[in-house]
Each structure stands twice: as structure tokens, then as C-alpha cells.
Amino acid sequence: MKSPLIFIMAIVITACVGCKKMQVAEVNTAISIEESANMIAGALSSSTNGLNTLATDVTNCSFKLYKNSVGCGAIISDSISRQSAPGSATTFNFTSKIVSTVNCNTNNQYQSVSSAAAFKGQYYGLKLSSQGNGSANTTVTGLGDAAPAFIVNGQLKNMCGFKMNADTTRKGTISINIGLTNLTIAKSTATVPATITAGTATASVTGNSPKGAFLFEGKLTFNGFNDATLVISKETYTINLATGAVAKR
């Protein structure tokens, strides 16, 4: 018969080994929830030429086409280059092309403008650096003079490489997918960095790194005043759409 003491020691050693494995796995998590929130903020903020800027470009192109088009199906193509201002905390350099088309109803009345945007570039922030390309497919309504705001629906996709600046071993590739529902932009602010006053979006971050693959999914609510709320993996964050700053609630 085996000694009871030896049996107990075997259990203790097994338990300790299990604890160590759990600790290592937690330390080596590929990407944290907060880091994924910063990735989404990078796809949104004006400081990184994200959605807050793209929404301005799309609505401006749509409104210009709506006002100047010669008929249903009219198309306009715009090319845009942007760089961050000297001395900015976050620097970026992007080029984009937006192709917009007038959509009409069955009575040949202007109804909306659909846009296909493609962009590429890079940004270097305090917490995250990223380089790659992306696309957006949107439909803009509220173009008539009587409508108080532009309404944008559609999808934004980013595919890029990333690096967390605090730990350069935390790097890899990511795909960010943001689905927009009734993004509302006040017309009085459409010619400057957009004031997104309302709307919601789904957001997902899928990626690979030397420390493993990862997937995070969440929901965004746009509150106005350059503020958005992100709920992701049961955590809640506030994102500043101007600066890209992320704060946990």
C-alpha cells in the first residue's frame, strides 16, 4: 500500500504545477481587452485619420454629388491625402480614394448616395502603432435641405500590422470590422472634423501575434461631443473620437 503522505504530496505538486501553467497562460495572453479597445479607438479617432475623419469625407463627397449631379447614377471620384499636424502626439500619413454614386427611387428622385472608399497609410500613437490599408462602403441619406443631419449606414474594414509601443514583442496583424447603424452627423459640422451626434456600431478585432490568435467583439454607442462608449468582453470603455484616448469605466 502506498504511503498516505506520498499520495498527499503528489496532489500538492500536481496542483502547484497546474497553478503555474494557469499563471503563465494569463501573462502570455496575446492581447488584453484594453489593448483591443485601443485598436478600435485607432480605427475611429481623428488623430489617427479614422472613422471620425472618414465620416466627414464621405458626407462631403455625397453632398457635393447630390447638389451637382446631372441625374440618377451620376458618379464622382475624389482623392484625398492627409498628414498629421507638426508636433502632434499621434502622427499619421494617409491617402484615400472615394467613389460616390447617386441612388434614386422608382420615381427617379434622388434618394441617397452610396460611396466606396479605399485607403492606406500608417499612424504612430502613444500606445499603438499601425500600418496597412482599409475600405469602407457607406450609404448617406438626409441630403435634402429639409433634413437636419446626414445619416450614414455601412461598414468599415481595416487590415493592418500593429505594434504595442510599451512592449514591442506584442505585435502582429489585425483585421478590424465596424458595422455602422444610423451614424448621425450634424450638417453644421460636416465641413470640419465631424461631429457624430448619435448612432451605434458593432466592432470586432481579429488578429494573430507571436503569442497567439485573438478575437474580440463589442458594441459602440456614439454619444455626441466626440464621445463614444465601447462595451467589449463585458468591459466598458469611453473613447474620445478626437484624440483616440481610451478610459475604462
pLDDT in tens, 134-186: 999 999 999 998 898 999 999 999 999 999 998 878 899 999 999 999 999 98
115, pLDDT greater than 90: yes
Average pLDDT over residues 40-61: 95
Q: Are 154 and 189 in contact (CB under 8 A)?
A: no
Average pLDDT over residues 218-222: 98
Number of Cβ within a 10 Å radius of residue 18: 10
107, pLDDT greater than 90: yes
CA distance 199 to 243: 19
pLDDT-based confidence at residue 30 (cuts at 50, 70, 90): confident
Type of residue numbered 142: G
Among 11-20, 28-37, 140-149, 175-184, name the most confident range.
175-184
103, pLDDT greater than 70: yes
Query: What tens digit of pLDDT does each residue of 55-91 get?
Result: 989 999 999 999 998 899 999 999 999 999 999 999 9
Q: How confident is the model at residue 170, as a pLDDT?
A: 86
Percent of the chain predicted with pLDDT > 90: 76
171 Cβ contact partners less than 8 Å away, ≥ 6 residues apart = 161, 162, 163, 164, 209, 210
Q: How confident is the model at residue 6, as a pLDDT?
A: 43
Average pLDDT over residues 200-204: 98
216, pLDDT greater than 50: yes
pTM (predicted TM-score) = 0.86
Q: How confident is the model at residue 186, as a pLDDT?
A: 85
Alpha helix positions (H), the chain: 4-27, 33-44, 51-68
If you write DSSP's letter for every residue of 13-51 in order, what string do you get?
A: HHHHHHHHHHHHHHHT-SS-HHHHHHHHHHHH-GGGT-H
Q: How confident is the model at residue 169, as a pLDDT?
A: 81
Percent of the chain predicted with pLDDT > 70: 86
Q: What's the length of the chain?
A: 249
193, pLDDT greater than 80: no
Residue with the bigger pLDDT between 110 and 1: it is 110
